Amino acid sequence: MKKLTIDNKTFNLADIKQLYPAVLVKTGYGDETTEMSLEWIDIESKGRVEIVGYGLFIVLNSKEKHTFLYKERESLDVAVGLVAKQIR
């Protein structure tokens, strides 16, 4: 069975329902955050939101969710590249 490893955590590819990158932004309600697409941030945000960090998110078939956070977009890009190499 093919496996995927992110930051020393390993998953069976067959168990992954969703795998996606996103940006965490403040919602404006205390410390609450929400995920936004990278595309929206690049095209539409125009500095109107406060970026908290960048993340790779994995949702397993069991509905369990794993989050891998990065402070900079460049770090997320590196992680996405490593994921791509593993699942080819």
- Dihedral Cα 38, 85, 57, 3, nearest 10 deg: 170
Question: Which pLDDT value is given to residue 1?
Answer: 80
Question: Would the pLDDT of 47 be above 90?
Answer: no
Average pLDDT over residues 3-10: 95
Q: Cα 85 vs. chain centroid, distance in angstroms?
A: 17
Residue ranges of alpha helices (H) inside the chain are 38-43, 73-87
Residue 16, φ and ψ in degrees, nearest 5: -90, 120
The residue ranges of every structural domain in the chain are 3-87
Please state, in angstroms and rounded to a whole number, the distance separating the CA atoms of residues 59 and 87: 16
Residues 70-88 pLDDT 10s: 999 999 999 999 999 998 8
pTM for the whole structure: 0.88
Tokens matching residue 41: 């941030």
